[in-house]
Amino acid sequence: MDHFQRLKRMYETAPLHDFYKGIEIFIQDKQSEIQLSTDSRYHHAGNAVHGSVYFKLLDDCCYFACQSVVRDQFLVTTNFNINLLRPIFNEKLIAKGKLDFASANLFTASGELYNEKGKLCATGQGQFVRSKVSLEDISTYDRN
């Protein structure tokens, strides 16, 4: 199993995704895409998708764009900015992230969140750094 497949397994089997049923990630070198079909369980009282879902999808797609080039250490988010552009209702969402900058310890990425009609709903920019956790120590990433 290659690095991208192991990252995919690590992401999709995370306990958090017991709530985000059906979330799917696609990882390539320096980029990632996440898809999620939303319904009313993701809504706030105003009957639209809560901003935390926008954040999750954008942070995750930016994170994995960066993690795609780091094969030894688990990265962590140190800063993330989001711009909410339009409401989302019961739609399939597509978040696309791309690596913008990489140094030995610092990585930045930008992301865009689209609805199923291809309309831009939000943008985000994140900063990520290496943690002390080895990828090999994460059971769902492990090469076995």
Position 144 pLDDT exceeds 80: no
* Entry pTM: 0.95
For residue range 81-115, list pLDDT tens digits in order.
999 999 999 999 999 999 999 999 999 999 999 99
Domains defined for the chain, CATH in brackets: 3-137 (3.10.129.10)
d(CA 35, CA 94): 5
User: What's the rounded mean pLDDT across residues 58-66?
Assistant: 98
The per-residue pLDDT for 142 is 77
The per-residue pLDDT for 54 is 98
User: What's the rounded mean pLDDT across residues 115-131?
Assistant: 98
